[in-house]
Amino acid sequence: MPHSIASNPQPWLSRFLLGVEESLGWFGGFCQFAGLIIRESIRRPFEFGELLRQVVAVGYRSVPLIVLSGLAVGSVLSMHTRSTLERFGAEAMIPTALAFALVKETGPLVTGLLMAGRVGAGIGAELGGMRVTEQIDALESLAVNSVHYLVVTRVWACVIAAPLLTVLMNFSGLAGGFLAEVIVSGTSFTYYLHTAFSSLAFADYIPPTLKTMVFGFIIGTMSTYLGYNASGGAEGVGRASTQSVVYSSIGLIVVNVLLVKFIFFLYPGGGA
Amino acid sequence: MESKNKVLVGLFVGGCLVLFGVGLFLIGSANQLFTKSFHVYADFAKITGIQNGSKVRVAGMDAGTVIRIDVPPRPETKFRVHFRLAEKLHPIVRADSMASIQTDGLLGNKYLQVAAGTSDAPVAAADSMIPSTEPFDWGDLMDEISSAVKQVNGVLTAVKEQLSSTLTEVENVVRSVNVVVKDATPAVKGIVESAHKITGSLNEIIDGVQAGEGTMGALFKDKELYASVRRSAEKTEQTIENVREATASVKKITAKVDESDIVPEVQRTVANLQRITLQVKDAVDKFQSASGEGGVGENLQRTLADAHEAMSDLADNTEALKHNFFFRGFFKRRGFYDLGSITTREYLSKGFAKGFKQHRIWLESAELFSLDSKGIQVLSPAGKRRLDEVIAEVMTLPRNGPLIVEGFAGEGTDAQRYLVSRRRSSRVQTYIIDRFRLRPTYVGIVARGAEPVAPGSAVNKEGIAIVSYYKE
Amino acid sequence: MTATENATPGAPIELRAVSKSFGPRKVLEECSFKVTAGTAFVLLGRSGTGKSVTLKLICGLIKPDAGAVFVNGEDITPLDSNALAVTRKHLGFLFQTAALFDSISVGENVAFPLRRRAEKPDPEIRNRAAELLESVGLGNEYDTMPSELSGGMRKRAGLARALAVEPSILLVDEPSAGLDPITSSEIDQLLLKIKTQQKTTLVIVTHNIPSARRVGDRFAFLDGGRLLAEGTADELTASENPLVRDFMKSQQAG
Ligand SMILES: Nc1ncnc2c1ncn2[C@@H]1O[C@H](COP(=O)(O)OP(=O)(O)O)[C@@H](O)[C@H]1O
Ligand SMILES: [Mg+2]
């Protein structure tokens, strides 16, 4: 097949078509892999110990990063919101506006991107390293289904950790916003929290938080796919790692657009 | 190793779930989910963006959320909005509490407002319906107004056309009269000529014609002329019906709060019409007295009197529009006075025409009015002359304040007194506006009803007072 | 087509006309051999001729492009990871690179397959793992991380892990590479012991001819994707093929 395309008289066209074919092949492989993950997810016995280990690695160890980023994002957002709302004399709306921004979009997306960076790179490098040093083969030789043991656990760890980290990001963001605000207006934290959530509906809070499970799935699947199929020694491992970050981030941003549309379709106006 | 992982995972998952729960709780309590509540519902033809979970406020206080909206099965049926209200607010939610859909401040969220009821009404039962007002929809109202105004305008144009054709008929009559008169006796000719000398106006000509009774009688024997006047009268009658309908529409609009550029237009048209009917009426008055016995003239006159009354209604309603919250500023800016509909109480209050001087002239009823063949009080020729004198006197004062015609009547029931006093002042008002070309908005009437001639006297005043307000 | 054919009885391992290429590079071309139960089969050949690939084919880690691989009487070529796991329960594999899991200690590497079976309580598993490490001369290295071991030590730890489940088939890829002669011969003794005592079928890839002679029963020489020669050590030493002869002799000398 590539042969017939390569024989095209137009070299740039054939190169382009080859590129398209390669990308499609890559994407096909990815989808197959995602399907395999889903199939292996429901097969018993569950690798519970490994899952715990991965939730610690993916979730627990991301807590400092998420909390610090949340504080920073929240305080910066709050300051920007203040400068805008001040003009209308609507400073009282700051917690509400911040909560809207954080809970509905910023929190999930920033969490997803941070996870893509920290977790995606980690998984890509770890599995890539295991692949090129034959550790995955060794695992298989010991009668362990490597997809079931290594991949499924990591993907689920991402799926579990993503919404939890998002919640953490949202609250850290609100805490950051509160810190930025308390300096200026000396408001109380409970009042701040109450105002922040007062204008939110469950439809503003639950779907955007849960949608990050899809982010987690994309990050997990993408980075395990790239790591699991790494080749080419240390260089290949590095490539798998960086590509994990890049592709997960892109995938996440694209899927976010679809998810926002989808959530809006399910809860029209829930996104006032 | 694994047990340590379990602890860490427990810490992480548990901690985050607790935070998530805190968020759920805060949203829930903001939506009154955790307070004891009761359910009621209200029907709306239009829900303008209200949805499940929308906030509900009772007298401005956050009280609950919309829990369900039943979509109507047929277009004629309304949406049924079910909502939850905090039990603690139950005592002020009465069976007459009005539900309406409102827009929240900055973010523009829609919410349901439930007004506190009146203490007379029973507390709204759980799962009962409370009354609702449709959400205010600017676009709809504009549509309604412009169609009503279109209707009014259409009717008024028709009235105008028909009245002016009536006028033309009348003019034609007068022209024929003139021709006839010219060929008649020199004595009549002389009268007509002298009348011409006094004034060139149509009314004076006809006044002069009154003398030649025989000629007038001949005139009304002309079958064709008779038929045409008759036709005009019928047409006018039909038009009056239309005006009545239009008046109803205007009333409806006035009931609502809104603005339209067409309102002053309507008012101008109404004013024009009033003047036209007055003129026609006056002209026909002349025929009436000329022809003597009840006939075309009287018929036409009654029709026109009706027309005038209908028109006054329309004018009243348009006037009401001016007092409307939205239009008040608009009319004030254009220098409209509210004299047209000033209430007696307003007029007698200290605030009226503060800083103005007052010149008051009393006119007995007997001086001004005589009964026509139907027993209706109309201005007598002598009365008119008396009025001319009085206004001439008033005109010597600076004309920088309102001119008020107060009416008094002492006989009959309160309603009759009011109506008679109002009619007296109104007759005088229309006469002097027309006669002296006064701006209608500066001449007001006040029906004062019964008032003793002197304090403690058993005899009531009968007549009118012309009061001129002015500033030196 | 070969999938429908039956394996040769008494041969737990059989390759039948197996071909394997990586891109344009043809590694194996219609290569066939079988290994009798309880014997040691030594695979010889120059570097890069496909010996490690052959072992991975037997383990099912690589799928052949054509041909059939029978393990314990079953053609494993169409099997997926889950089905292969059944076959692999009876199989031990020492990788050329040892392939220790570098996130857990040496002892836990050895304990890993035991824990997966979860047939014994934890202290017993630890004891058994320590015992295995002892048998490969790493008695003191239970808690050492793999990255801290030398190449030869890693190899021995890898062997201990492969032996942990007492496999009926053991695939060993260059066990003596990087080992001193004494340790190397100790390993040979270990392999001989499990062959004779546990009737384990061995496939050994090695360049160490003396060691191969000590342990091996039959020998095969892989070159150009085919077995150039197959037979006992003496048969190969007497081969007409100069390459095979030279290989046997040069190593013998060294
Ligand atoms: N996964 C792989 N991808 C591509 N080429 C491979 C792969 N594994 C082995 N090869 C190639 O196959 C050939 C045989 O390799 P191998 O079996 O490791 O040689 P040796 O006989 O030294 O063990 C080598 O040329 C190697 O480059
Ligand atoms: Mg090799």
Q: In this structure, are residues C154 and C169 in contact, taking their beta carbons and an 8 Å threshold?
A: no
CA distance A196 to chain B (A): 9
Ligand 1 contact, C48 CB (< 6 A): yes
CA distance A132 to chain C (A): 10
Which residue of A lies nearest to C61 if distances are taken between CA atoms? A137
Query: Which residue from C86, C91, C99 is facing A137, i.e. has the nearest CB?
Result: C99
* Residue nearest ligand 1's atom 25 by CA: C48
Q: Which residue has the higher pLDDT, A253 or B35?
A: A253
Ligand 1 contact, C28 CB (< 6 A): no
Q: Scan for tokens 């300096």, then name that residue.
A: A183
CA distance C82 to chain A (A): 6
What mean pLDDT value characterizes chain A?
A: 90
Which residue of C lies nearest to A130 if distances are taken between CA atoms? C101
The Cα–Cα gap between C154 and C175 comes to 10
Side chain identity at residue B117, one-letter code: G
Q: Compute, in angstroms, the gap from residue C51 CA to the centroid of ligand 2.
A: 6
What pLDDT shows up at residue B219? 37
**CA C174 to ligand 1: nearest atom:** 23
The Cα–Cα gap between B333 and A84 comes to 37
Q: Compute, in angstroms, the gap from residue B389 CA to the centroid of ligand 2.
A: 134
Mean pLDDT of B45-57: 82
What pLDDT shows up at residue B297? 46
> Is B107's CB within 8 Å of A272's CB?
yes
Residues in B closer than 8 angstroms to A169, CB to CB, are: none
What pLDDT shows up at residue A83? 86
Q: Which helix H or strand E contains B195, and what residues bound it? A: helix B186-198
* Residue nearest ligand 1's atom 6 by CA: C22
State ipTM: 0.92
Q: Which residue has the higher pLDDT, B379 or A228?
A: A228
Q: Report chain A's terminal Cα–Cα distance, integer Å.
A: 51
Mean pLDDT of A21-40: 92
What mean pLDDT value characterizes chain C?
A: 89
Residue B264 has pLDDT above 60, yes or no: no
**CA C54 to ligand 1: nearest atom:** 17
Which residue of B lies nearest to A99 if distances are taken between CA atoms? B23
DSSP at B74: S
Q: Which helix H or strand E contains C167, and what residues bound it? A: none
Cα atoms in the Cβ-side hemisphere of radius 13 Å centred on B278 = 20
Mean pLDDT of C89-111: 94
Query: Tell me: the pLDDT tens digits for B325-341?
Result: 444 443 443 333 456 55
Distances in Å between the Cα of B97 and the Cα atoms of A154, B32, B117 are 58, 20, 4
Ligand 1 contact, C206 CB (< 6 A): no
A134 Cβ under 8 Å from any chain C Cβ: yes
* Residue nearest ligand 1's atom 2 by CA: C22
Residues in C closer than 8 angstroms to A132, CB to CB, are: none
> Is A138's CB within 8 Å of C93's CB?
yes
Greatest mean pLDDT range, B18-32, B221-235, B423-437:
B18-32
Q: Compute, in angstroms, the gap from residue C24 CA to the centroid of ligand 1.
A: 12
> Mean pLDDT lowest for which of A102-106, B340-344, B385-389?
B340-344
B19 Cβ under 8 Å from any chain A Cβ: yes
pLDDT category, C78, cuts 50, 70, 90?
Answer: very high
Query: Tell me: the pLDDT tens digits for C214-235?
Result: 899 999 999 988 888 899 988 8
Which residue of A lies nearest to B19 if distances are taken between CA atoms? A167
- Cβ neighbours for B363, distance < 8 A, ≥ 6 positions apart: B386, B387, B390, B463, B464, B465, B466
DSSP string, A145-202: -HIIIIIHHHHHHHHHHHHHHHHHHHHHHHHHHHHHHHHHH---HHHHHHHHHHT--H
- Cβ neighbours for B153, distance < 8 A, ≥ 6 positions apart: B262, B265, B266, B269
CA distance A238 to chain C (A): 18
What pLDDT shows up at residue A271? 42
Per-residue b or e along B338-365, where b marks 16 or more CB atoms closer than 10 Å to that residue's CB? bbbbbeeeebeeeeebeebeebeeebeb
B51 Cβ under 8 Å from any chain A Cβ: yes
> Is A138's CB within 8 Å of C100's CB?
yes
Q: Compute, in angstroms, the gap from residue C195 CA to the centroid of ligand 1.
A: 28
> Mean pLDDT lowest for which of A135-149, C152-166, C195-209, C238-252?
C238-252
Ligand 1 contact, C154 CB (< 6 A): no
CATH architecture of B334-470: 2-Layer Sandwich (3.30)
What pLDDT shows up at residue B391? 84
CA distance A11 to chain B (A): 55
What pLDDT shows up at residue B277? 57
Residue B388 has pLDDT above 90, yes or no: no
Ligand 1 contact, C22 CB (< 6 A): yes
Q: In this structure, are residues B289 and B281 in contact, taking their beta carbons and an 8 Å threshold?
A: no
Residues in A closer than 8 angstroms to B28, CB to CB, are: 202
Residue B185 has pLDDT above 60, yes or no: no
What mean pLDDT value characterizes chain B?
A: 68
Q: Give the residue from C194, C183, C175, C238 showing the smallest Cα distance to C43.
A: C175
Instruction: Assess whether the previous peptide bond of C9 is cis (omega < 30° from 0).
Output: no
pLDDT category, B389, cuts 50, 70, 90?
Answer: confident
Q: Compute, in angstroms, the gap from residue B443 CA to the centroid of ligand 2.
A: 117
What pLDDT shows up at residue B196? 34
Ligand 1 contact, C135 CB (< 6 A): no
* Residue nearest ligand 1's atom 7 by CA: C22
pLDDT category, A76, cuts 50, 70, 90?
Answer: very high
Ligand nearest to the backbone CA of A134: 1
Widest CA span in chain C: 56
Helix, strand, coil percentages, rounded to 5, for chain B:
55, 15, 25
> Mean pLDDT lowest for which of A185-189, B85-89, B435-439?
B435-439
Q: Compute, in angstroms, the gap from residue C164 CA to the centroid of ligand 2.
A: 23
The Cα–Cα gap between B288 and B295 comes to 8
What pLDDT shows up at residue C4? 53
pLDDT category, A94, cuts 50, 70, 90?
Answer: confident
Mean pLDDT of A34-50: 91
Residue B222 has pLDDT above 60, yes or no: no
Residue B255 has pLDDT above 60, yes or no: no
**CA C96 to ligand 1: nearest atom:** 23
The Cα–Cα gap between C191 and C39 comes to 11
What pLDDT shows up at residue B280? 54
